[in-house]
Amino acid sequence: MSDSASGSVDKSVQVKLVLLGEAAVGKSSVVLRFVSNEFQANKEPTIGAAFLTQKCRLEDRVLRYEIWDTAGQERFHSLAPMYYRNAQAAVVVYDITKATSLEKAKSWVKELQRQANPNIVIALAGNKLDLVQPSALSTGAASSSESEDEADDATATPGETPGSSGEPESLRQVPREEAQAYATEAGLLFFETSAKTGEGIVDIFTEIAKKIPIEHILAATRGTARPGAAGSRADGARQEGGVNLEENAAKSKDACNC
């Protein structure tokens, strides 16, 4: 254990996690849901990458996720290695209402398996589950050719309620079974999620936490233990958000224990 260092971070194990996937599939929303338990309909596209942290309790361990949320557009691809180097976990997100996004996810998985840390734990997440659930308010409007995010927006707009509740399943382009089969074959964790409703989000991170070879990480980090005062200022600067973190940590703790 890196005693002195982790003393301030209460014995947490740091896990570097990277999010990858096609543009506008909801990577940032997934993170935002996990980190702040919030949802924003129109999030600005991520440029370059964003960085967030969140703690997650698993049994007697505290994991501190360092989450790198990357840009999805194809041309940012060449920057990705900068972010997934040394990552211990990856969440590859696709949009269940868009078949091409699964193809892109597969190519990300392929790249990770060849280029990234060999022990990396990869989870595949099919996002936007709310769009195909009949219980959702109304998702008919989303069948327009508009993008998914606009679709989200449309669901929130009260004026538009053309579709009946039976309709939504047709929006689904990626059958759960197909993605599940692929994930099993490629050795990935698999989830269908909705960043909007929060469904399945925490599960991703919990399952990753379970699967991660924590001892391995500890062994690896022991060598490069932080000096005592390290990052104290940075932590101080982070305080404002820290409050949020605590709440969520509690939430995710519950989820983790179940």
Partner 1 sequence: MSTISTALRNFKEPTKEQLTQIFFSLPSVGSLDGTEKTLDQHVEKMDINAVLSFGVQGVEDSYAGKLHIIAPYLAFTSLDKKSVRFTIPLSTIRRVERLNARAGIYALSLSTWHGMKIIVQLTSLRPTADQFCALLRDALKIELQRGQMKLVKGFVKTCYSEALVSETSTVADNEREDGSLISEEKENAAPRESTYHGGLGLRFKFPGDPKKLREASKIKLWATYLRAHGRNLTLLRYPQCTRLVQVGLPNRLRGEMWETLSGSMYLRFSNPGFYEDLLKKNEGRTSTSTEDIEKDLHRSLPEYAGYQSEEGISALRRVLQAYSFKNPELGYCQAMNILAAAILIYMSEEQAFWLLEVLCDRLLPGYYAPSMHGTLLDQRVFESLVQRCLPIIHDHFQVVDVQLSVASLPWFLSLFVYQQYANDICISDSRLLLLHGTQGVIPSRTRSVCSSIIYEPSPSFHSWPAILKINGEKLLQIQDDGGFLNLMRDYFASLGDSAHPNSTDPRARAITRFQELLLVSFREFSVITDDMILSERRRFRSEIINSIESFSKRSAIRNLKTLGRFTKEQAGLIYDALYMAMCILPPPGPVNPPPTLLTPHDGTEEKPETRIELSTFQYFLSEIATWARNEKIVMNGFQQRIDREIAEHEFIDRLFFFWDTSCRGALSFQDLVSGLDGVMFNDLMENIEWFFNLHDKNKDGFLTKDEVLTLSESFLFIFRYEVGDAYLGAVSRFMTNAFEYGDALLPTAEDADPNSERAHDGQGPEPTSPHFIESNQPYLNLATFRMVVLADEVLESFFETDLSGSFRLEPVPDAELPVSPSGLLGDLWSTIATDSNKKMFNMFTDEIGKTIGKHQVINRPSIGRYTKLEEPKARESLLTPSMRKSSSKASLTGSSTAASTATLAPSSSSTLTVDTKGQPAKDLPQLPSSESLSPMVQAVNARLMERTPFAIDDAKDDEDESDDEIDANDNDDRVMDEVDAFLEAHDSGLTDADKEVANDLLHAEPLK
Beta carbons of 77 and 106 less than 8 angstroms apart: no
- Choose between 86 and 257: whose C-beta lies nearer to partner 1: 86
Helix/strand/coil for 187: coil
- Choose between 49 and 214: whose C-beta lies nearer to partner 1: 49
CA distances from 183 to 46, 92, 171, 180 (A): 26, 11, 21, 5
Minimum Å gap between C-beta 236 and partner 1 is 9
Minimum Å gap between C-beta 101 and partner 1 is 10
Distance CA 235, CA 244 (A): 14
Beta carbons of 69 and 23 less than 8 angstroms apart: no
Q: 221: phi > 0 → left, psi -120 to 50 → alpha, else beta; which?
A: alpha
Beta carbons of 165 and 130 less than 8 angstroms apart: no
- Choose between 37 and 165: whose C-beta lies nearer to partner 1: 37
Minimum Å gap between C-beta 248 and partner 1 is 10
- Choose between 79 and 210: whose C-beta lies nearer to partner 1: 79
Minimum Å gap between C-beta 258 and partner 1 is 25
- Choose between 107 and 133: whose C-beta lies nearer to partner 1: 107
Beta carbons of 5 and 228 less than 8 angstroms apart: yes
Minimum Å gap between C-beta 112 and partner 1 is 11
Distance CA 56, CA 13 (A): 10
- Choose between 36 and 165: whose C-beta lies nearer to partner 1: 36
Site residues (vs partner 1, CB under 8 A):
23-24, 28, 32, 35-36, 38, 40, 42-53, 66, 71-79, 81-83, 99-100, 103, 107, 110-111, 114-115, 146-150, 153, 173, 226, 229-234, 237-238, 240-242, 244-245
Q: Give the residue carrying structure tokens 């509740």.
A: 165
Distance CA 113, CA 90 (A): 11
Q: Report the DSSP beta bridge partners of residue 192.
A: 126
Minimum Å gap between C-beta 198 and partner 1 is 15
Q: Give the residue carrying structure tokens 């989450």.
A: 67
Minimum Å gap between C-beta 212 and partner 1 is 18
Distance CA 249, CA 29 (A): 18
- Choose between 164 and 246: whose C-beta lies nearer to partner 1: 246
For 77, residues 6+ apart whose C-beta sits below 8 A from its C-beta are none
